[in-house]
Chain A
Amino acid sequence: MRFGVVVFPGTWSDCDFHYVISEILRQPVRYIWHRDRDLRDLDCVILPGGFSYGDYLRAGAVAGRSPVVEALPEFVARGGYVLGSCNGFQILCEAGLLPGALMRNQCLRYRCQAVHLRVENVDTPFTRGLRLGQVLTMPISHGEGRYYCDAATLARLKRNRQIVFRYATADGQVTRAANPNGSLENIAGVVSEDGNVLGLMPHPERAAEAQLGSTDGLLLFHSLLGTLVEDGTFLKR
């Protein structure tokens, strides 16, 4: 499976994703400059964390209108996978590839800490290797991660089972105290209707080695890779 990691001016998790994909998962990976539109050689595009364009205006607003992001709908229509983490999630929402928006944390401060995530849907390419209700541990690091959408959108998200991760306690209780940023219904990650685009605020690339605290982030990649190994071909679900 060939991965591409997008680099915007101001992106900083690009090297970390690249490292995990090449050194830990041993998969082919290349960087994609934000001005590039050619994604034909790739199976999965990663939108990493950082402060693309300084997050000036709104987090992800400028990057959401960049050439590489404009090329994503066609890539997804061909069946390509897109994973946006942290700033990548914000960009996907700004670009309209995922519903909802990410607002300033309720505490009004940046938060960097480990969180627990309850898996809410295992019928996506990113979570098919997981158990429903399984609790994953990953770090967050953001100032604007409070997920919000209107009531109609929320109803649609639920109907389509697009909510993939919720902030929870270590034993999987979705509580107010377990919500680090005030997200609506503790939502930490959502997928597109067809399931090919995942956005989440936590950093799976920071949870890929035991010596750094957790390997739960690898489960997302293993799910994704398992899909392709099983089907043998690109993009059949």
Chain B
Amino acid sequence: MTGSEPKATLGLARELGLTADEYDQIIQRLGREPTYTELGLFAALWSEHCGYKHSRLLLARLPTGGPRVLQGPGENAGALDIGDGWAVVFKIESHNHPSYIEPFQGAATGVGGILRDVFTMGARPIALLDSLRFGDPAEPETRRLIEGVVAGISWYGNCFGCPTVGGEIAFAPEYARNPLVNVMCVGLVRADRILRARADGVGNPVFYVGNKTGRDGLHGATMASAAFDEHAQERRPTVQVGDPFTEKLLLEACLEAMATGAIVGAQDMGAAGLACCAAEMPARAGTGMELDLARVPQREREMSPYEILLSESQERMLLVVARGREEEVRRIFAKWELDAVEVGRVTDDGLLTVRRDGEVVARVPVRALTEAPRYRKPMAPPADLAERRRFDPLALPPPEDCGEALVALLAAPTIASKAWAYSQYDQQVGLNTLVLPGSDAAVLRVKGTRRALAVATDGNGRLVFLDPRRGAAMAVCEAARNVACAGGRPIGVTDCLNFGSPERPEILWQLAEAVEGIAEACRALELPVVGGNVSLYNETSGEAILPTPIVGVVGLLEDASRLATQWFKGEGHRVALLGPEAVSLGGSEYLWTFHRRLAGALAPLDLALERRVQAAVQAAIEAGLALSAHDCAEGGLAVAVAEACMTGPEPVGATITLPPGEARADLALFGEGPSRVVVSVSPGRALAFEALMAESAVPWRWLGVTGGERLVIRCGGATLVDVAVDRLHQAWRTGFERHLA
């Protein structure tokens, strides 16, 4: 084997992020010492990012099956049958670490990566959603990160030509030195044309297509699998540089080539680059692969085998082509002015054999690479959690003026309008977007059918911090509820689990509990989890982020014209609240905004009731009875009603009456709890609505009526809120932007 490379040693293995134990296992699996290049392969594929060492056993808890599932986890992306011969392909992925180091390119290449995951399946991407978390927006560093991340997403998505239709942006100090950039992509493909990341067919040629390989992004996977310290910025060279134009060409060339039937399998070269594809594709198919590195298109000189294999240069893909059809594929890629080079072939020996200039530089069983060790490490709840949960927010004084409190909450950066961000994203290319960003869920039609898809992401780190199991279940429920509020029936989930270092017992406990919560909620709502991503080691200098599972839900509307948006549609409409009364100020936006506290207990979650509420809302929309539907989330009922008043094209006031009760005003107005939806109904349909609600067996009540220019909320004779809608709108519209001026 090669003599010019350093010898593999335990010291080197440690430098690459492997443990002594793992190094021993490598020797055991190979029956000899690895070469330098082989050690690099193991370090990358056994990184947490690629190998899921700490999470795989936990992820097995998630339900992944169902009648619509065409592809579950373990592929480039998941796929669900949506009827009429169509499948929706979707996945969410993180690019947190690179985005902290270099926000523009980090976020841009995050978009690029998830787009490729979807179009390697043969699907044309139709929508992107971004779930972003940052520190205090008043900090200059946070502003730099937001500006960079939003500009990076805008640049890549717009140039590529996929609309960005949704997502969320939230703020908490725990994300200051570890922002989250999670991107979800949704695509469409004919159900019988889904392509998989498999190296089938011994003797089939393996093609490298797309950009040339450079030294950018080396060690990306290992970087994403370690915590940061004060030297994080020195890792800038590990961040890749994106080229959305090349990606667009790659999309068109791949879809054109896939349509000919000449492509057998495809995988995006993402984390751990060529190495990952060359190991995973044969491992899935039970085959092996030979590669000749001398043939790999390179844009730098004298790259070592290690560098070629582990480069994370963007916009590249590995294709397995049906033997005899090479010319067809070459011709299509030449038309799009892209490299398409035969770099190897599929073998039957179960080995990844890598040569350069005839010399073997690595020969490893593919399964030894893809079957990373799995760990079940000690876990325990954080020591102070019980104490935090015991805190009673009602021990704090209520606000002097609830109307002013509402104005302030609407201007809180997490709640305020994010138009500043999404107006920088193309939202409509493709002519599918029926509901633009700014409602509970985006809605995209499926051309050629009567159907539409509703998509939303959600995840509240504060709630998960206080109660990982319930908080994570609530994230699933809220994303699904958002989809129901648009008129969709939720059909599937993708999740991105953003946590700190799993080597700490309290973090691993958060992760395990959160996965259990997602599993419970998905089982109750009958939602399969068909793909996702785990992002661990989100911490800098020992301070972890809030545990943040981001849940993306896709829903189906049988009739695209039966959709709803969150805002009131006119005067004189009756307003109703569906769902339970129980709310809590524990972990609420109110408690943080006014008291800077992260404490308290969460409201109860009844999954069976949640399911009935979602079904009732969706049925009311489908029947044309609910003219608007809006989920009660951060800021509680008062914020939900205010948003329904002011976020439409023609703002309208409302007069709301809360039932007299013992609940304190701040709890009744701003308390947060699951399964609650504000709907509006035209007065002529009120009886039909009441009948539907009686059938649906969900608690509900009339809240009031729309009209006028003010939002008035009364309770038992007292007026709690009486503010001009204009003023609410002004606070909400400018609350986020004024931090970015």
Q: Which residues of A contact B (CB under 8 A)?
A: 9-10, 12-13, 15-16, 19-20, 49-51, 53-56, 109-113, 139, 141, 143, 203, 205-206, 208-209, 211-212
Residue on A nearest B245 in the bound complex, by CB? A54
Q: Is B229 an interface residue (CB 8 A)?
A: no
Instruction: State in angstroms the CA–CA spacing of A110 and B428 once bound together.
Output: 14
Q: Does A212 contact B423, Cβ atoms closer than 8 Å?
A: no
Residues of chain B in range 484-502 having any CB-CB distance to chain A below 8 Å:
none
Task: Name B155's closest neighbour in chain A (CB-CB).
Answer: A110
Give the complex CA separation of A141 and B163 in angstroms.
11
| B residues less than 8 Å from A111 (CB atoms) | 423-424
CB atoms of B423 and A113 under 8 A apart: yes
Which one of B161, B431, B433 lies within 8 Å of A50 (CB-CB)? Answer: B161
Determine the chain B residues whose CB is within 8 A of the CB of A112 once the complex forms: 158, 422-428
Report Cα–Cα, A203/B431, bound state, in Å.
Answer: 11
User: Do B431 and A19 have beta carbons less than 8 Å apart?
Assistant: yes
Whether A212 and B431, one on each chain, are in contact in the complex, defined by CB atoms closer than 8 angstroms, is yes
CB atoms of B158 and A55 under 8 A apart: no
Q: In the complex, are the beta carbons of A12 and B248 less than 8 A apart? A: yes
Q: Restricting to B409-430, which residues have a CB under 8 Å from any CB of A? A: 422-430
Q: B245 touching A10 by the CB < 8 A rule?
A: yes
Interface pair B431/A205, CB less than 8 Å apart: yes
- Closest chain-B Cβ to A21's Cβ sits at a distance in Å of 12
Taking a contact as CB atoms under 8 Å apart, the answer to whether B424 and A141 are in contact is no
Q: Mark B427-445, 1 if CB is under 8 A from A, else 0.
A: 1111101100000000001
Contact partner of B159 (CB less than 8 A), chosen from A10, A20, A139, is A10
Measured CB to CB, the closest approach of chain A to B437, in angstroms, equals: 10
Q: Which A residues touch B244, using CB under 8 A?
A: 51, 54
- The majority secondary structure among interface residues of chain A is mixed
> What would 29 A/B residue contacts be, using CB atoms closer than 8 Å?
A9-B248, A9-B249, A9-B337, A10-B245, A12-B160, A12-B248, A19-B431, A20-B431, A50-B161, A51-B158, A51-B161, A51-B244, A56-B245, A109-B151, A110-B154, A110-B425, A110-B426, A111-B424, A112-B422, A112-B427, A112-B428, A141-B158, A141-B429, A208-B431, A209-B431, A211-B445, A211-B560, A211-B561, A212-B428
Q: Which residues of chain A are within 8 angstroms of B423 by Cβ–Cβ distance?
A: 111-113
Does the CB pair B428–A12 fall under 8 Å? no
B336 at the interface (CB under 8 A from A): yes
Complex A-B, nearest 10 residue pairs according to Cβ-Cβ distance, in ascending order = A54-B245, A12-B161, A51-B159, A141-B426, A110-B424, A16-B431, A110-B154, A112-B426, A10-B245, A206-B428
Per the 8 Å Cβ criterion, residues 134-177 of B in contact with A are 151, 154-155, 158-161
With A10-B159, A110-B154 given, is the CB distance from A211 to B434 under 8 Å?
yes
Besides A51-B158, A113-B423, A205-B431, 15 new A-B residue pairs in contact (Cβ under 8 A), listed by A number: A12-B160, A12-B248, A51-B159, A51-B161, A51-B248, A54-B245, A55-B245, A109-B424, A110-B155, A112-B158, A112-B422, A112-B428, A143-B158, A206-B431, A212-B434
Total number of B residues with any Cβ neighbor in A under 8 Å: 31
A-B contact count (CB 8 A): 79
* Most A-side CB within 10 Å, residue of B161, B424, B447: B161
User: Which chain B residues lie closer than 8 Å to A53 at the CB level?
Assistant: 245
B269 to chain A, nearest CB (A): 20
Contacts of A9 in B (CB 8 A): 245, 248-249, 336-337
Q: Is B243 an interface residue when CB atoms closer than 8 A count as contact? A: yes
**Complex formed: what's the CA distance from A15 to B336 in Å?**
17
Q: Check A10–B426 contact: CB distance below 8 A.
A: no
Residue with the highest number of chain B CB atoms closer than 10 Å, among A53, A141, A205, A208: A141
Most buried by B among A10, A16, A55: A10
Q: A113 CA to B429 CA in the complex, in Å? A: 12
Instruction: Report B-chain residues with C-beta under 8 Å of the C-beta of A20.
Output: 431
Instruction: Indicate if the CB atoms of A16 and B429 lie closer than 8 Å.
Output: yes
CB distance from A157 to the nearest CB of B (A): 29
CB distance from B162 to the nearest CB of A (A): 8
The CB with the most chain A CB atoms within 10 A, among B424, B560, B561, is that of B424
Across-interface contacts of A54 in B (CB, < 8 A)? 159, 243-246
Residues of A within 8 A of B243 (CB): 54
- Is the Cβ of B249 less than 8 Å from the Cβ of A10? yes
For the complex, give the distance between the alpha carbons of A141 and B161 in Å: 11
Q: Nearest residue in A to B154 (C-beta to C-beta)?
A: A110
**Alpha-carbon distance between A211 and B427 when the two chains are bound, in angstroms:** 15
Q: Given the known A-B contacts A12-B248, A112-B423, are A55 and B428 also in contact in the complex, defined by CB atoms under 8 Å?
A: no
B434 CB contacts on chain A under 8 angstroms: 211-212
The A-contacting residues of B in range 243-269, CB under 8 angstroms, are 243-246, 248-249
When distances are taken between beta carbons in the complex, the residues of chain A under 8 Å from B248 are 9-10, 12, 51
Instruction: Give the nearest-CB partner of B448 in chain A.
Output: A23
Shortest distance from the beta carbon of B249 to any chain A beta carbon, whole Å:
6
Closest Cβ–Cβ distance, residue A137 to chain B (whole Å): 11
> B113 CB to closest chain A CB, in angstroms?
18
Q: Assuming A13-B429, A139-B428, is B245 touching A19 (CB within 8 A)?
A: no
Q: Shortest beta-carbon distance, B420 to chain A, in Å?
A: 9
Report the separation of the CA atoms of residues A211 and B336 in the bound assembly, to the nearest whole angstrom. 34
Find the residue from A15, A111, A112, A143 having the highest chain B CB count within 10 A.
Answer: A112
- Smallest beta-carbon distance B379→chain A, Å: 44
Query: Closest CB of chain A to B455's CB: distance in Å?
Result: 17
Name A13's closest neighbour in chain B (CB-CB): B429
